[in-house]
Amino acid sequence: MLIAVDPGHGGKDPGAVVGDYKEKDINLNVALKLRDILIKKGIDVIMTRDKDETVDLQQRCDIANKAHANYFISIHCNSFKDPSANGTETYAYPGSIDGRNLAQYVQNEIVKTLGTKDRGVKYEKFYVLKYTYMPAILVELAFMSNPDDLKLLLEKDSIFAEAIAVGIEDFLKTKFEEGESAIQKLKAKGIINKVYDAKSYVTWGEFASVIIKLLEGMK
Ligand SMILES: [Zn+2]
């Protein structure tokens, strides 16, 4: 399992700036902590940047695509002219079922552990969601422009990282269990004749055989 972690902005692009604080620094801070937590959980991680450097959006997608990452997690902070705006929102690419589910797990975990306002899962064709080949989400942790949210971002960065990691882990666990139960159902129906490891790859030959059995069963 390989997760691409993408700390938004960096280098010449600070992202949102509130007082002395730059979004690129908070994103990197949380992303590096997320990397360490995921590695401890036995999940491999590739970073689109691990220091304060300029990386354009296509480069970020290329890094994840070339590494064949399974999932892509972009970390950002929100900002708005009205300082009362606050809370967490997580974006997925429109129509991506895995993206939507992963976004929901991460969103729920952040809101539950940090107590931020739940602004929900949203759908946008953001560049890094569109041009990555794997299911991808973009998390807006909280609002730098809101004093309470900013305090959380500065003081509870480890908790944000932990919440994202737990969300990812719960999503993967559920997905694995669904896969195992689907395999059992296919076996019970005689569509496959042995029990596969839900994490193992299927050859095109095996896949084609399953499709043919389904098509012939439907005639
Ligand atoms: Zn941003």
Digit-coded pLDDT (tens) for 95-141? 999 999 999 999 999 999 999 999 999 999 999 999 999 999 999 99
Query: Quick one: average pLDDT of 39-55?
Result: 97
Distance from Cα 8 to the centre of ligand 1, integer Å? 5
Residues 123 and 204 in one domain: no
Q: Is residue 142 part of a domain?
A: yes
Distance from Cα 77 to the centre of ligand 1, integer Å? 5
Residues 95 and 149 in one domain: yes
Residues 193 and 89 in one domain: no
The C-alpha atoms of residue 213 and residue 150 are separated, in whole angstroms, by: 56
Residues 73 and 103 in one domain: yes
Residues 26 and 62 in one domain: yes
Residues 45 and 114 in one domain: yes
Residues 199 and 99 in one domain: no
Query: Quick one: average pLDDT of 27-34?
Result: 98
List of residues 6+ apart from 33 with CB closer than 8 A: 157, 158, 160, 161, 162
Distance from Cα 203 to the centre of ligand 1, integer Å? 40
Residue 12: the pLDDT is: 98
CA-based torsion, 86, 155, 2, 13: positive or negative: positive
CA-based torsion, 150, 151, 155, 159: positive or negative: negative
CA-based nearest residue to 105, from 147, 73, 61: 73
- Looking up tokens 């959006």 gives 57
Residues 101 and 161 in one domain: yes
pLDDT digit string, tens, across residues 144-203? 999 999 999 999 999 999 999 999 999 999 999 999 999 999 889 888 888 788 878 888
Domain that holds residue 136: 2-173
The C-alpha atoms of residue 103 and residue 87 are separated, in whole angstroms, by: 15
Distance from Cα 6 to the centre of ligand 1, integer Å? 11
Query: Quick one: average pLDDT of 36-50?
Result: 97
Q: Is residue 124 part of a domain?
A: yes
List of residues 6+ apart from 5 with CB closer than 8 A: 31, 34, 35, 38, 45, 46, 47, 48, 73, 75
Residue 131: the pLDDT is: 98
Q: What is the mean pLDDT of the chain?
A: 95
Q: Is residue 179 part of a domain?
A: no
Tell me what percent of the residues of the chain surpass a pLDDT of 90: 84
Residues 19 and 83 in one domain: yes
The C-alpha atoms of residue 100 and residue 135 are separated, in whole angstroms, by: 9
Q: Which of 23, 89, 109, 140 is catalytic?
A: 140
Q: Is residue 166 part of a domain?
A: yes
Please tell me the total count of domains within the chain.
2
Distance from Cα 9 to the centre of ligand 1, integer Å? 6
Query: Quick one: average pLDDT of 66-92?
Result: 98
140 is a catalytic site residue: yes
The C-alpha atoms of residue 54 and residue 109 are separated, in whole angstroms, by: 30
Q: Is residue 181 part of a domain?
A: no
